[in-house]
Amino acid sequence: MTSTVLRVAELFGPTFQGEGPSAGQQAAFIRLSGCPVRCSWCDEPQTWDWSRFSQKEESQALAAEQVSAWASGVRADLIVITGGEPLTQQRGLIELVTTLTDTGRRVEIETSGTIAPVPALAAAVSAFNVSPKLANSLVPYQRRIRPAALAALAATGKAVFKFVACGRDDLVEVAELAERFSLEPVWIMPEGVTAERVVTGMRDLADEVLARGWHLTGRMHVLVWGDARGR
């Protein structure tokens, strides 16, 4: 049987998951290419912005069995599939995720929440880290908020919803989206690719996040390694 081919931006680890409920855990990362959302502050534009980056240099086609073989050689129980937007390749991910979970690995997928997962993939993964984009992304509402996809992700019972906030004013929009689409649990993360900006953002957001009954996450990899790639 021919293995599914995936468009891969980079493979790296062991490192730490830097964000959300699994922050601090050892992990291996599979970063896929391609994203239809294209946020203005995206910290991984090399996965989709072919006006600034070379697709040939930043993306490679790898068979799912090659990727799973690499992940199997990394000392980490947690595998994080990120992007870009991984669910643009979700049909190809079924083989990869199934292989990894069969070997006892936990697999989390990081997604923008704009594409509904197919049932086979939803059944195989351990968690979806869903990051719906706010107006601060400068992406039109119709492109960044897809009600059917959010509902499908929430229905898996495996999703957490992490919003990138540039300041306390953004929390009003988070509250509106969370209520409208029944999104929970809610995690708030400050935007920033420097340790100083992340810490300042957490301090600015912390009290109001607590008051609203939500969770706060930093970006541990940024605090430790800055904006270095592959960490």
| Ordered domains of the chain (ranges, CATH) | 5-225 (3.20.20.70)
Q: What is the pTM of this model?
A: 0.95
Please give the pLDDT value at position 14.
96
Residue partners of 17: CB distance under 8 A and separation at least 6: 23, 24, 25, 26, 27, 78, 80, 108, 220
Instruction: Supply the angle between the helices 170-181 and 147-155 in degrees, to the nearest 10.
Output: 70
- Is residue 109 within 8 Å of 101, Cβ to Cβ? no
Which two structure tokens, joined as six digits, stand for 213?
């009954």
Region of 113 on the Ramachandran plot (φ > 0 left; ψ -120 to 50 alpha; else beta): left
Banded model confidence at residue 1, pLDDT cuts 50, 70, 90: low
Q: Give per-residue pLDDT as tens, 151-182.
A: 999 999 999 999 999 999 999 999 999 999 99
pLDDT of 38 reads: 93
